[in-house]
Amino acid sequence: MLQEDNLLDMGYEALVQINENKVFEIAREWMDNEYDPAKLLSKLAEAMVEIGRKFDEKEYFLAQFILSSNIMENVTKMILEEIAGTELVPENKGTVIMSTVKNDIHDLGKKIAASMLRVEGFNVVDLGKDVPAERIVQIAVEHDADIIIASSMTTLSISGLSEIKELLENMKERNRAKLIVSGAPVTQEYADLIGADAYAKTAAEAVLATKRLMMR
């Protein structure tokens, strides 16, 4: 039987090589051994970051980028199905709304964070990409959400983050979700400027920020 670290390394390499069958084979062995699902998802998230780098540097084409994203989503679904009805299922820790703002179609980081949050026990509502601030806040209200995680990957769309915060400020305190902002042009200084509750540079940081805000 392979040790955890060996499986993690193999899973990382299989996803970077976009070997779907191997990724699922490793994920099934991981689950059979009843290892921590979140640990595997975190390692696969690291692989997705490396794939994103390869895509940005034109080592990978768009088709490879999309396929790797689909593998990540499907393996997360498989893991969640595997742990359903078992003691590995964490209690519901809260509801998180996730979206990329209007005029932005980048959503790889969001998908990775959504996968990790689901395995951690959060109810995640992923609205996708290019979503207006009004709809994001509306859905948050409808779901009585605890957290909104919104991302902007371009300077042309970053104003959508401040629009979300303005809409939240006009709501009653008890109905107001906390806001985590992320994206390439986003900084801690910008998050502070618009009054966001937290800033996350990576998917892993988004998970940590969500956990921290839920403890307040």
Question: What would the pLDDT profile of 101-140 be if each residue is shown by its tens digit?
Answer: 999 988 878 888 888 888 888 999 999 999 999 999 999 9
Contact between 71 and 20 under an 8 Å Cβ cutoff? The reply is yes
Residue 88: pLDDT above 80? no
d(CA 135, CA 103): 14
The 10 Å CB-count burial string (b at 16+, else e) for 39-57 is ebbbbbbbbbbebbebbee
Token pair of 166, please? Answer: 């303005």
Q: What pLDDT score was predicted for residue 123?
A: 92
Q: What pLDDT score was predicted for residue 126?
A: 94
Predicted TM-score (pTM) of the model is: 0.81
Count other Cβ atoms within 10 Å, centred on residue 134.
12
Q: Residues 4-83: name the CATH superfamily.
A: Methionine synthase domain (1.10.1240.10)
Q: Choose which CATH entry (3.40.710.10, 2.102.10.10, 3.40.50.280, 2.20.28.270) describes domain 95-214.
A: 3.40.50.280
Tell me whether domains 4-83 and 95-214 share a fold: no
Q: What pLDDT score was predicted for residue 56?
A: 82
**Whole-number mean pLDDT of the chain?**
90
Helix (H) or strand (E) holding 5: helix 4-16
- Ordered by start, the domain boundaries in the chain are 4-83, 95-214
d(CA 53, CA 85): 37
Q: What pLDDT score was predicted for residue 174?
A: 65
Count Cβ atoms within 10 A of the Cβ of residue 211 and give its class: 0-12 exposed, 13-18 middle, 19 or more buried: middle
Residue 89: pLDDT above 70? no
Kindly tell me the sign of the dihedral angle through the C-alpha atoms of 77, 8, 214, 149.
Answer: negative
